[in-house]
Structure 1
């Protein structure tokens, strides 16, 4: 029997009552199962953290001694019992080390996606589905009007820009994907990165993901030629809003983060509408519960066919 209170949302995040642990807590807790290392899913200060090896590496780089009291590293599909709930990880395809969390309790299978994507990505493990009774899915882009284009086709837009480019992107996950895509599809461009992205790239390479060529940014370099792509985090990108002599682009699946209608770069690390539908088809759940977005469109789409519960 599916337990409707198997997870609940409280001030600290997504709580599993039956295992007494949190999924991606928003505040430090005693026991945290963390799907991936983005800051909105992986906070510092938890006592016991269950995650993948790559997620642990990113958290320790970012938070140092405050990352967690103890890390418990799980390999893919390795099972561990947490408070009576059998927990295991499957690749989520969102970024390096990102995991979907399969929780089995009293014979019922609950699959929490965290953030996920189906698009191919040479910088992380490809998504791997399993069947479950309940799919607890992110709904960031659960909108029938949202369809993300092929990332390779999008990155090729850079080839037509004959001045230096300031490319805004989140430092962890998106930046590494962009470096690899540019090297693959627009190899004539020279990629520059700030010092803060360098150690993140080193972790990718430690885990066997070669990103290709890039070098540390310097202002002098940007003045010497016209084929540089300078990848910068959002804060830096916003601080150079009046920058001259460069083309400003922001790589995102969100329309409101595009700089203008003409120069767009729709590269998303989340599932779009059709991908969420494919995920539901693959998992074949008896119920779908939505988090991290608006689940109303899914509820309407599956009306009378599949129960959809909106958790947030």
Structure 2
């Protein structure tokens, strides 16, 4: 029997009281099961953190000695128990080390997706599907009007100009994916990476991911080369350099409102869109869908006559 209160939301996040742990807590807790290392899912300071190896490496870089009291690193598919809940990590395809969390209790399987994507990405483990009785899915882009374009087709937009480009991107996941995509599809471009992004890049390489060619940013190089340079910077730097001259400003994101006033609009998202969410539901074959991280109303309406959809937030 599905337990309606197996996962509940409080001010700290998604709580499994039967196992006494939180999924991606927003405040420090005793037991944290972390899906991936983005800051809105993985804070520092939790006493016990259960996650994949890459997630632990990213968190350790970001939070240093405050990353966790203790890490319990689990490979994909390995089953471990927290207070009678059987747990395993399944590749989520979002960034390197990202995982969906499969939980089994009293014979019922609950699958928490964290953030996930279905698009191909050479820089992380591809998503894999498992069947579950309850799918707890993110709904960041759960809107029939949202269809993410093909990333390989989007990156080709950078080839439409020879001007130097300032490319804004998130430091973890997006940055590394873009380096790989440009190496494959924008071979005339010389890629310069902001120094703050480099530790994450190096962890990717430490984990065996070949991103291709790139260089750490050098002002002299950018100044003396006026064509085909791509300077990749994190969002805060991108915003602060809003008066930068002799560059075309581009920001890689699936959010349309962040593309305003940019000469090239680069719609590359690391989240599932509407069609991806429907496909995931088809593959997981849940009896119920619980929605989180976004608005699940559209999904509830779509399945109102065929599937139970519960909005957790």
In the superposition, the TM-score normalised over structure 2's length comes to 0.99
Specify the alignment match of 2:276 in structure 1. 275
Tell me whether 1:170 sits opposite 2:167 in the alignment: no
- 8 Å contact kept, 2:249–2:263: no
Q: Where does structure 2 lack aligned partners over 5 or more consecutive residues?
A: none
Matches within 5 A, 1:75-90: 75-90=75-90
SS at match of 1:42: coil
Q: Residues 275-294 of structure 1 correspond to what in structure 2 (within 5 A)?
A: 275-294=276-295
SS in 2 for 1:292: strand
Cα displacement string for residues 112-157 of structure 1 (whole angstroms, at most 9, x for unaligned residues): 0000000000000000010000000000000000000000000010
Is 1:249–1:259's contact at 8 Å kept on the other side of the alignment? Answer: no
Using the TM superposition, give the Cα deviation of residue 15 of structure 1 relative to its aligned residue in structure 2, in angstroms: 0.4
Runs of 5+ unmatched residues, structure 1: none
Q: Aligned partners of 1:3, 1:295: CA distance in 2, in Å?
A: 20
Q: Give the distance between the partners of 2:203 and 2:46, measured in 1 at CA.
A: 22
Report the equivalent of 1:123.
Answer: 123
Counterparts of 1:283 and 1:96 in 2: how far apart (Å)? 22
SS in 1 for 2:249: strand
Number of matched pairs: 312
Q: How does 1:65-76 map to 2 (within 5 A)?
A: 65-76=65-76
- Name the CA distance, whole Å, in 1 between partners of 2:260 and 2:252: 10
SS at match of 1:156: helix
Structure 1 residue aligned with 2:181? 181
2:57 paired residue number: 57
Match of 1:103 in 2: 103
More moved, 224-233 vs 134-143: 224-233
Report SS of the residue matched to 2:196.
coil
The more displaced of 188-197 and 18-27 is 188-197
Q: Deviations over 1:168-194 (max 9, x none)?
A: 000000000000000010011000011
Structure 2 distance, partners of 1:228, 1:260, is 21
CA distance in 1, matches of 2:292, 2:59: 23
Please name the residue that 2:15 is paired with.
Answer: 15
